[in-house]
Structure 1
């Protein structure tokens, strides 16, 4: 793990990231070389490295130490721990639930990060309460956990999470100005023992921001994370408005029995735009509210008709149709056949359909 600036990473953070491997007796020179970082660079206090090289180094350290904490903590974190935490988070309805679940998950591991989420009036505060080790790099690990939280929160909701302030319980280091670039907000410093090792505050209203990522998006993220989240200049939030709307529909179908798919006005309120702006942005992305709604319903219907034995009337209700006759009409429009016929011959019909059929509007 590690902290980074807006365009490059200070050599101080590179040294800190290497501390655990060195204590384990691992030769770090080959790791640096594979990451494209000249070992001699570490002797220059003014040196900086590109974010992608730092991310590469973090991946090398993960593999060399067999520890997601890079050998920096009081106990190792087994590979796959972060991924399992993410799988738990994407199933949450909103950001607040996801952060609380992550905190409870890591609380199961003695010696791991002691995470907390508190609300004080209109402000939410996420804190790493322990420094994760009794050596100087332990502070670096706590700071990195804060960076990871911030970027993962932005990724989960598909929107940047603006921070109001960050507090680190350490004297300001010579490179203190770096932290404002990392977090995009004022950073306060304090004496050790005066509070959590690292904490960040944001608008408490963001706790209700819906989680718009799903398992498919998570699989893509985990091919690069956690190093990919840390080794980039900003949060990984590339997500279209259409994707956010689509994820809201998927979540509603998953949670509701019967489903109550959000209206345009409700989706617009979640995304902090007007209904007209939402419609315009969807149009700019080549789709519409109704088209996305039909696509999600159609894909869910096809999956359940092919794989399950749920009565068609119950399936229609679960997909948000007040009458099963309306579902029959929609399904015939989508596929050219009835739900019952599709259940009997769906596999054959699917093989005969053109590859882009499911993405077309009916």
Structure 2
């Protein structure tokens, strides 16, 4: 572990890692085992597996087509993973299952690639996907029954790892060109777009809410405008799926992004409110006070400045490791 942390430019006593350092930790884990399956006994994956998978996705034009070809790629080129896309009305479920001798280790492997798959999907369409709900197979996942750290969606435990998306997302078109280093480009997009990154937090905000000019006023009809069911039916489905109303979920997302902007940037409070869709600063203040019991100024004063290793040094190492994974 000491060697892994050292190679990832993380101090041994660190209580926080940046998005870049987290990515470097993952890549160093792969490199140190010499196996993209993290030597978890579920069958070997060579270093080119991820790169070739991304290249198969780039042979298509829509997200739905990319996932279908990726599913066939997994079935043909891997004894480890099985991927499926199932449809239930206006909802698409993208699921991933790792198969091998040790079920516990397979669940760990499943979680690793579950996050990678979501990263690759977002890179393909050039924005964060509006995930409705997520499941993971690991019983001890730290976010179970809360919110998935990457997809920002309600998370529960299930038999397999899966994402629930509005079916219309599968019609979204490819936004990236053929590139020489797809693994590096996908990871770089993810790090640059991360709403937790102080360097590019406004870009992350626009990506999360790219479909809404005023996310604070977004409605069910805005989010599911091709669903073929009434708002009342959709409200019941949302409530049954993860025990919350659309308004509550929207409020949670607004609080999360507002908190990040307040604590990671020096943007004026009125500008943050305007970004989120509040016409008046007092409306934004009232929303936060009612939702979390704090004013924007109180949230900002509570921010913690985490010490940061040189981003350039971390990214240089990430780039060097991804080159081993490219075909």
TM-score range, shorter chain: 0.5 to 0.7
Higher Rg: 1
Question: Do the aligned partners of 1:147 and 1:230 also contact (CA within 8 Å) in 2?
Answer: no
CA distance in 2, matches of 1:33, 1:178: 31
Question: Do the aligned partners of 2:43 and 2:79 also contact (CA within 8 Å) in 1?
Answer: yes
Q: Does residue 213 in structure 1 map to residue 181 in structure 2?
A: no
Compared CA separation, residues 228 and 77, structure 1 to 2 (3 A): farther
Match of 2:98 among 121, 127, 130: 130
Question: Do the aligned partners of 2:51 and 2:182 also contact (CA within 8 Å) in 1?
Answer: no
Match of 2:50 among 79, 82, 91: 82
Measure how far apart 1:149 and its partner are. 1.8
Q: Does residue 223 in structure 1 map to residue 191 in structure 2?
A: no
Measure how far apart 1:150 and its partner are. 1.7
- The residue number in structure 2 matching 1:37 is 10
Please, which runs of 5 or more residues in structure 2 have no aligned partner?
205-224, 226-327
Compared CA separation, residues 158 and 128, structure 1 to 2 (3 A): same
Q: Does residue 154 in structure 1 map to residue 122 in structure 2?
A: yes
Measure how far apart 1:133 and its partner are. 5.9
CA deviation profile, 1:139-159 (whole Å, cap 9, x unmatched): 232122222222211211123
CA deviation profile, 1:42-80 (whole Å, cap 9, x unmatched): xxxxx4422222212222223222222222351121111
- The residue number in structure 2 matching 1:198 is 161
- The residue number in structure 2 matching 1:113 is 81
Q: Does residue 96 in structure 1 map to residue 64 in structure 2?
A: yes
CA distance in 2, matches of 1:143, 1:233: 19
- The residue number in structure 2 matching 1:182 is 150
Q: Does residue 55 in structure 1 map to residue 37 in structure 2?
A: no
Compared CA separation, residues 175 and 84, structure 1 to 2 (3 A): closer
Compared CA separation, residues 85 and 175, structure 1 to 2 (3 A): closer
CA deviation profile, 1:109-140 (whole Å, cap 9, x unmatched): 34321111111111110001336561534323
CA distance in 2, matches of 1:143, 1:113: 12
Measure how far apart 1:199 and its partner are. 0.8
Question: Do the aligned partners of 1:113 and 1:132 also contact (CA within 8 Å) in 2?
Answer: no
Measure how far apart 1:81 and its partner are. 1.3
Measure how far apart 1:101 and its partner are. 0.6
CA distance in 1, matches of 2:146, 2:99: 20
Map 1:9-20 → 2, pairs under 5 A: none
Question: Do the aligned partners of 1:72 and 1:133 also contact (CA within 8 Å) in 2?
Answer: no
Compared CA separation, residues 89 and 146, structure 1 to 2 (3 A): same
CA distance in 2, matches of 1:129, 1:235: 29
Please, which runs of 5 or more residues in structure 1 have no aligned partner?
1-27, 42-46, 240-271, 273-362
CA distance in 2, matches of 1:128, 1:100: 13
- The residue number in structure 1 matching 2:243 is none
CA distance in 1, matches of 2:34, 2:69: 25
Structure 2 SS opposite 1:108: helix
Compared CA separation, residues 132 and 50, structure 1 to 2 (3 A): farther
Question: Do the aligned partners of 1:165 and 1:185 also contact (CA within 8 Å) in 2?
Answer: yes
